[in-house]
Structure 1
């Protein structure tokens, strides 16, 4: 997949389109950037996987052995996409991620507080992390059972996940901060337009078609979908390798 059309590029592009993040063209190669992200311990672990013995050949796997992981991927992706699209899902034993409404606060100033929307976004991020982490582990386990080369690929993904986790948390943790700037800019434009026309403001109208908060919520969901695609990218890569191996064995 080319960098231009990768999920990471899409998330950056979406934020850039909202004018809350820059999307500079990096002149560094991927290897150069990776070298800046890994510390000494990570580099040793990566070297050990790349130059270690992958082990003996795995016993032949039955046809369709990797299908449950593919099915789980489709289920998890659909569940998380639905949660974004339809304002959260009500699941047994789990609270629904509910989109805040502007009438939660009695004053107009209080109703325009970004904090409830920040909590909403963070709740989706927690749900993504909780659902995708075990899925990625299962994909690695299924891939490792195929062949020594694929076991090495699975080990490499495990090292990369651990090494890059702090950077990923830091970068994705900045997304709500960027959205806060977008929220405030839309609200200020709305206030300026009201001042020009002399109309009385009403939080109840903010979520009506054409309302500034309607526009923000739509943009926020677009960012959530882009982040979901980014978080699922490693799992999709593992499943692609698993699918190729299963095809060769068939």
Structure 2
């Protein structure tokens, strides 16, 4: 998977499909639709920045470094596993103390669904902040490793950095909108189920959504990891 394809994979990700299945968004899942939307996000200034960065790639100075690709891949898998386990354990009281506390279900049906959803909103956003911190740090580490492996990977890392800066605001808006969309789903379920069943059903959906969001947030890093592994495999068999 190239870095460009990993960025574009957002439209076919499990996250978008999950949101669609919850009937809280009318996002059309098609490559042409997403590519068009992506083009609208990148304004003239962004286009100039990307074009300038791309034109400078062939003249970039390359400083080789000793990089253990397997260690970088292991780091990616370790962080991914840690984030996933953190989400899963936060939904399981038997898993022990969790830094992010799951809301306690109400004993009676909520008269104010917005107020009833507020603890779940804080819970979801707390996980999102954790995703931001861990995955941004991981992406920087993988990008740094790629920079020292080959001129081509150094160029890819530089382009990844510029592309990340260009799309950060837009992706942040996308992820920020998810808890709001989830609130619509909570409101739908609140009108259909008694309190305890509402809590259980909603938590199942919320956990699935968080896991899907992890997958989507990791796509750019996965693109770099696969590029590193392709480079290593190529050199191994040459």
Q: Deviations over 1:149-197 (max 9, x none)?
A: 2111111110111110111111111111111111111111126xxxxxx
State the alpha-carbon separation in 1 of the partners of residues 11 and 34 from structure 2: 13
Of 120, 126, 133, which aligns to 1:130? 133
- Find the counterpart in structure 1 of residue 24 from structure 2: 20
Unaligned runs of 5+ in 2: none
Q: Deviations over 1:50-94 (max 9, x none)?
A: 2113435543x54x62233222211111111111212179xxxx9
- Where relative contact order (Cα < 8 A, 6+ residues apart) is larger, the structure is 2
State the shift of 1:231 in Å: 0.1
State the alpha-carbon separation in 1 of the partners of residues 18 and 213 from structure 2: 10
- Find the counterpart in structure 2 of residue 55 from structure 1: 60
Q: Secondary structure at the match of 1:146?
A: coil
Q: Which of these two proteins has the greater Rg computed from alpha carbons?
A: 1
Q: Secondary structure at the match of 1:152?
A: helix
Of 219, 230, 233, which aligns to 1:244? 230
Pair 6,101 (structure 1): closer, same or farther in 2 beyond 3 Å? same
- Find the counterpart in structure 2 of residue 76 from structure 1: 79
- Find the counterpart in structure 2 of residue 198 from structure 1: none
State the shift of 1:23 in Å: 3.0
- Find the counterpart in structure 1 of residue 110 from structure 2: 109
Unaligned runs of 5+ in 1: 192-202
Q: Deviations over 1:79-123 (max 9, x none)?
A: 11111212179xxxx9701111124xx875379600000000000
CA RMSD, Structure 1 to Structure 2 (Å): 2.8
Task: Give aligned pairs, total.
Answer: 224
State the alpha-carbon separation in 2 of the partners of residues 27 and 66 from structure 1: 32
Q: Comparing both structures, which one devotes a greater share of its residues to helix? A: 2
Pair 6,56 (structure 1): closer, same or farther in 2 beyond 3 Å? closer
- Find the counterpart in structure 1 of residue 200 from structure 2: 214
